[in-house]
Amino acid sequence: MFEDKTLKCKECGKEFIFTAGEQQFYQEKGFVNEPQRCKECRDARKKANNPEREMFTAICASCGKEARVPFRPREDRPVYCSECYAKMKEQA
């Protein structure tokens, strides 16, 4: 059975717990190496590799509310807020 382990982050040097549940997950996925970074450093590394998406503001073609979308709106295509878009998907 697995027991919690204390590991040292190679990035920041802080100690972190590699829990029994995490160890079981690693084994189920076939991972052979223990994590080398704490959660904070892993998250920072992921964020650095995947920068924040640029969001654009548009007016919903259905209800007229302001909508934030991850693409540049075009004049020839309607843009819908998340609520109106979800309603349209339900009807389809």
**Cβ-count burial of 35 within 10 angstroms (0-12 exposed, 13-18 middle, 19+ buried)?**
middle
Distance CA 16, CA 5 (A): 8
Is the per-residue pLDDT at 92 higher than 80?
Answer: no
Task: Tell me the C-alpha distance between 16 and 8, whole Å.
Answer: 6
The span from the CA of 22 to the CA of 66, in Å, is 42
Each residue of 22-69: pLDDT tens digit? 999 999 999 999 999 999 999 999 888 877 789 999 999 999 999 999
The domain spans of the chain are: 5-49, 56-91
* pTM reported for the whole predicted model: 0.55
Per-residue model confidence (pLDDT) at position 80: 95
Side-chain-side CA neighbours of residue 50 (13 Å): 5
